[in-house]
């Protein structure tokens, strides 16, 4: 085993470009160990160090997952409405991997579960991976099946479905680390209460809730710093209606506060082709520009002007197969203060906060696209039955009013 670890360490620190090396393992037969170029990065090597003294097949699985997710380009979630899966944050993941030995982990909205797989490989005893999209759960199972390790497979539990209805699939009060990366900002505000109820139900009393959300101060969100609700308009080049590519993201303050981030509207702006219907290679849809924000109009017109020759040539075989669309949805972004207040409203307190840049690394607040928070349940400082007694007495005395409401709220926060 020692030789195997040594061989792996040498590979990791030398920065060996894509080699497959037959590592000698004293206990097991020599297995192929795969190392990609980024395996040499210290943060990445650190993750592998934590995966540590494991079977070569498990190390291979860790490397495979890291290859797909370390400083990776964001990957579109299967289906269109759920946004992107972002690269792992090695600094936070390393910390969780250090803490998860023998613990129970659950990932909500975990997409293909890459973070959770690493936590499982680092020694978590049970790992639940939830996502609402079946294809993402299938990707997750694909990773596990490729490892062909029964003991490894046994500890992972896929749960496909709505995270807000997950209660009956995981025993209450058993989860030590609940990881919900970039899920909360996809939920309408009126689902926040349910989200935190689920978190409370699943976590052990000392369990950690690990969350990330869009950061309000990131470069993406310019303008009035007091505005948190936006309409996000994403300009998409849709090739053969099957390979949408984002060209631009535009945000403007949203008049509504409680929209559904998953409710998209899609407006076709123009299609490209040649022949009669396509003057200068482009057919502009009548009135479509009226449906988007006026700041976005010059941007769209510039895309069309700069690219119509190329796009119309590319769509020769099938006129109209290249389209520009604008996809619009409601969006919430958070500052550190706002996410802290939200957590406190629902009975959690942040114990650690960091910012995450587009490569997935922890960063300065200015560079941070996301805020990551590690939170715990608020400590119980007064016994809940005190609140209950006060609340009940007020009801008895026929004075429910504000004190009752306060006590009910406190009971909610601390129970
Ligand atoms: C923005 S992606 C983030 C994926 C991954 N956690 C990451 O950080 O890369 C949001 C994920 O949440 C999933 N999702 C959205 N709503 C959900 C819900 N109600 N229950 C479970 N998963 C949900 C989507 O399918 C998607 O995989």
Q: Looking at the 3D structure of the chain, how many domains does it have?
A: 4
In a domain, 47, yes or no: no
Same-domain status, 134 and 102: yes
Residue 81 within a domain: yes
Alpha carbon 32 to its chain centroid, in Å, reads 31
In a domain, 50, yes or no: no
Answer yes or no: do 145 and 68 share one domain.
yes
Cα 231 to middle of ligand 1, angstroms: 20
Contact 367, 361 (CB under 8 A): no
Q: How many Å apart are CA 120 and CA 144, to the nearest integer?
A: 11
Per the structure, the complete domain to which residue 25 belongs is given by 2-40
Q: Residue 216 has what DSSP assignment?
A: T
Residue 84 CA to ligand 1 centre (angstroms): 8
133 CA → ligand 1 middle, Å: 8
Residue 384 vs residues 153, 171, 406, 415: alpha-carbon distances, Å: 41, 23, 12, 7
Give me ligand 1 centre to Cα 110, in Å: 6
Same-domain status, 237 and 214: no
What is each CA distance from 116 to 107, 132, 199, 344, 367, in whole angstroms?
A: 6, 16, 17, 26, 26
The answer on 215 and 74 residing in a single domain is yes
Nearest atom within ligand 1 for CA of residue 162? 20
Contact predicate 18/40, CB 8 Å? no
Same domain, 141 and 233: no
User: How far is C-alpha 204 from the chain's CA centre?
Assistant: 23
Q: What is the pLDDT of residue 29?
A: 39
The single-letter DSSP state of residue 261 is T
Does residue 38 contact residue 71 with C-beta atoms inside 8 Å?
yes
- pLDDT of amino acid 2: 38
185 occurs within a structural domain: yes
Token pair listed for 20: 């497959």
CB-side exposure of 248: number of CA atoms within 13 Å? Answer: 17
Q: Determine whether the shortest distance from the Cβ of 130 to ligand 1 is under 6 A.
A: yes
Q: Are 37 and 128 in contact (CB under 8 A)?
A: no
Query: Which residue is closest in CA terms to ligand 1's atom 7?
Result: 85
**Cβ(173)–Cβ(109) below 8 Å:** no
Separation of alpha carbons 109 and 182, rounded Å:
8
Domain match, 217 and 144 both: yes
Given this model, what pLDDT does residue 290 score?
A: 93
Please give the number of the atom of ligand 1 that sits closest to the Cα of 77.
27
The answer as to whether 45 is a domain residue is no
Ligand 1 contacts CB of residue 164 (under 6 A): yes
pLDDT of residue 207: 97
CA distance 118 to 49: 11
Residues 257 and 293 in one domain: yes
Shortest CA distance to 350 belongs to which of 217, 209, 218? 209
Query: Closest Cα to atom 27, ligand 1: which residue?
Result: 111
Ligand 1 centre distance from Cα of residue 263 (Å): 15
- Using most ligand atoms within 8 A of CB, pick from 167, 186, 213 the residue to mutate for ligand 1: 186
Could you read off the pLDDT of 150-192 as tens digits, one per residue? 777 789 999 999 999 998 899 999 999 999 999 999 999 999 9
> Ligand 1: distance of its center to the CA of 269 in Å?
28
Is residue 75 domain-resident?
A: yes
State whether 405 and 369 are in the same domain: no
Would residue 51 count as lying in a domain?
A: no
For the entire predicted model, the pTM comes to 0.79
Q: Is 83 in the pocket of ligand 1 (CB under 6 A)?
A: yes
- The rounded distance, in Å, linking the Cα atoms of 379 and 375 is 11
211 lines ligand 1 (CB under 6 A): no
Tens digit of pLDDT at every position of the chain (415 positions): 333 333 333 333 333 222 222 233 333 334 444 444 444 565 666 677 766 666 778 888 888 999 899 999 888 887 767 888 999 999 999 999 999 999 999 999 999 999 999 999 989 999 999 999 999 999 999 999 988 777 777 899 999 999 999 988 999 999 999 999 999 999 999 999 999 999 999 999 999 999 999 999 876 677 788 889 999 999 989 887 666 788 888 888 898 888 999 998 999 999 999 888 898 899 999 899 999 999 999 999 999 999 999 999 988 878 778 999 999 999 999 999 999 999 999 999 999 999 999 999 999 998 999 999 999 998 765 566 666 666 665 555 555 566 667 667 766 666 5
CA nearest neighbour of 242 among 318, 132, 143, 138: 318
For ligand 1, whether the C-beta of 106 sits within 6 Å is: no
Half-sphere exposure of 349 (CA within 13 A, CB side): 8
Shared domain for 189 and 277, answered yes or no, is no
Cβ(132) to ligand 1 under 6 A? yes
CATH of the domain at 151: 3.40.50.150
Within this chain, do residues 27 and 68 fall inside the same structural domain, yes or no? no
144 vs 104: CA distance, rounded Å? 18
CA distance 103 to 105: 6
Rounded to the nearest angstrom, the distance between the alpha carbon of 83 and the centre of ligand 1 is 8
* Alpha-carbon gap, residue 102 to 176, rounded angstroms: 10
Residue 303 lies in a domain: yes
What distance in angstroms lies between residue 107's CA and the mean position of ligand 1's atoms? 10
Return the closest-CA partner of residue 66 out of 114, 111, 108.
114
Indicate which atom in ligand 1 lies nearest the CA of residue 87.
9
**The dihedral formed by the CA atoms of 127, 132, 135 and 138, expressed in degrees to the nearest 10:** 20
Q: Euclidean distance between the first and final Cα of the chain, in Å?
A: 48
Angstrom distances, CA of residue 78 to CA of 81, 84, 138, 373: 9, 9, 11, 26
Residues 235 and 216 both lie in one domain: no
pLDDT of residue 399: 53
Judged by DSSP in three states, 265 sits in strand
**Residue 82 near ligand 1, beta carbon < 6 Å:** yes
* Predicted pLDDT at 80: 67
Residue 136 in contact with ligand 1 by CB distance below 6 A: yes
* 72 and 127 part of one domain: yes
CA of 82 to the centre of ligand 1 (A): 6
The CB density around residue 61, as the number of other CB atoms within 10 Å, is 25
Does residue 356 line the site of ligand 1, with CB under 6 A? no
Q: Is the CB of 77 under 6 A from ligand 1?
A: yes
């Amino acid at each position: 085993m020692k030789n195997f670890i040594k061989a792996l360490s040498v590979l990791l620190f030398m920065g060996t470009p894509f080699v497959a090396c037959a590592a000698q393992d004293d206990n097991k037969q020599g297995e192929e160990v795969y190392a990609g170029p980024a395996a040499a990065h210290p943060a990445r090597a650190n993750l592998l160090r934590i995966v540590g003294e494991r079977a070569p097949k498990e190390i291979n699985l860790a490397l495979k997952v890291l290859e797909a997710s370390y400083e990776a380009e964001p990957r579109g979630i299967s289906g269109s409405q759920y946004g992107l899966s972002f690269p792992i944050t090695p600094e936070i993941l390393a910390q969780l991997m250090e803490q998860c030995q023998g613990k129970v982990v659950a990932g909500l909205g975990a997409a293909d579960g890459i973070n959770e797989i690493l936590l499982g490989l680092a020694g978590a005893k049970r790992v639940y991976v939830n996502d609402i999209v079946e294809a993402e759960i299938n990707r997750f199972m694909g990773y596990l099946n490729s490892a062909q390790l029964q003991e490894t497979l046994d500890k992972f539990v896929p749960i496909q479905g709505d995270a807000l209805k997950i209660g009956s699939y995981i025993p209450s009060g058993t989860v030590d680390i609940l990881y919900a990366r970039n899920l909360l900002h996809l939920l309408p505000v009126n689902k926040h209460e349910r989200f935190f109820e689920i978190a409370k139900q699943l976590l052990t009393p000392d369990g950690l809730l690990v969350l990330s959300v869009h950061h309000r101060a990131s470069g993406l969100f310019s303008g009035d710093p007091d505005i948190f609700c936006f309409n996000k308009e994403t300009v998409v080049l849709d090739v053969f209606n099957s390979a949408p590519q984002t060209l631009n993201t535009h945000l403007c303050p949203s008049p509504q506060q409680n929209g559904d981030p998953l409710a998209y509207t899609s407006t076709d702006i123009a299609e490209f082709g040649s022949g009669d219907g396509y003057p200068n290679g482009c057919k502009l849809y009548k009135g479509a520009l009226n449906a988007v924000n006026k700041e976005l109009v010059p941007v769209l017109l510039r895309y069309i002007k700069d690219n119509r020759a190329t796009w119309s040539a590319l769509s020769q075989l099938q006129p109209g197969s290249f389209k520009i669309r604008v996809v619009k949805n409601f969006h919430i972004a958070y500052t550190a203060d706002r996410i802290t207040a939200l957590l406190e409203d629902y009975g959690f307190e942040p114990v650690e906060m960091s910012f995450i840049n587009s490569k997935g690394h922890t960063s300065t607040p200015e560079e941070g696209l996301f805020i990551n928070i590690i939170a715990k349940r608020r400590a119980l400082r007064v016994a809940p039955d005190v609140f209950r007694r006060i609340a009940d007495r007020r009801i008895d005395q026929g004075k429910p009013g504000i004190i009752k409401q306060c006590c009910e709220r406190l009971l909610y926060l601390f129970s």
